[in-house]
Amino acid sequence: MNIERIDLPKIEDFRGNISVIEKNILPYEIKRVYYLYDVPSSAARGGHAHKEQFEFLIPISGSFDVVLNDTKEKRTITLNKPNKGLLIKSNVWRELENFSSGSVCLVISSGEYDEEDYIREFDAFEAFVKANS
């Protein structure tokens, strides 16, 4: 599957920890940063794939599940540590669910918002993957 778990550097201090994201951590130039918060535990986010764009998800607070599907394999990864993120590369369907109370998901993207890069229907995603394999 076109994903990668990435451990962020963790600088420990008795006053609190710091994790840093610098240009050598991600395999792309950062073009957009956004975050999801106040997501009800019964709600789901995502529900799409990207044709080109990469996204790096970090659970800044709390936890949530990322359900991934590349049409050959389906996998669920729980993100719950702010120094461990998930890089989702292109052509991977993702859904975010099971948000804990107070959770925050930071997303660091390789591209600016471009609706043409989104595939929002799973059937269309399957067809896109088949046509491009």
Q: How many structural domains is the chain composed of?
A: 1
**Distances, alpha carbon 104 to alpha carbons 57, 60, 91, in Å:** 10, 5, 24
Structure tokens at 53: 């764009």
> Mind telling me the catalytic residues?
48
Residue 79 scores a pLDDT above 90 = yes
Q: What is the dihedral of CA 9, 85, 100, 115, to 10 degrees?
A: 140
pLDDT-based confidence at 1, cuts 50/70/90? Answer: confident
Q: For residue 53, is pLDDT > 90? A: yes
**Range list of H helices, 1-133:** 122-131
Q: How far apart are CA 19 and CA 35, in angstroms?
A: 17
Q: Which of the four pLDDT bands, split at 50, 70 and 90, describes residue 23?
A: confident
Each residue of 38-50: pLDDT tens digit? 999 889 999 999 9
Determine the pLDDT at residue 74: 97
d(Cα 95, Cα 82) in Å, to the nearest integer?
19
- Gyration radius of the chain's alpha carbons: 15
This prediction has a pTM of: 0.92
Q: Helix/strand/coil (H, E, C) string of 100-131? A: CCCCEEEEEECCCCCHHHEECCHHHHHHHHHH
What is the residue range of 117's domain? 3-131
CATH classification of the domain holding 78 = 2.60.120.10
State pLDDT tens for residues 81-128. 999 999 999 999 999 999 999 999 999 999 999 999 999 999 999 999
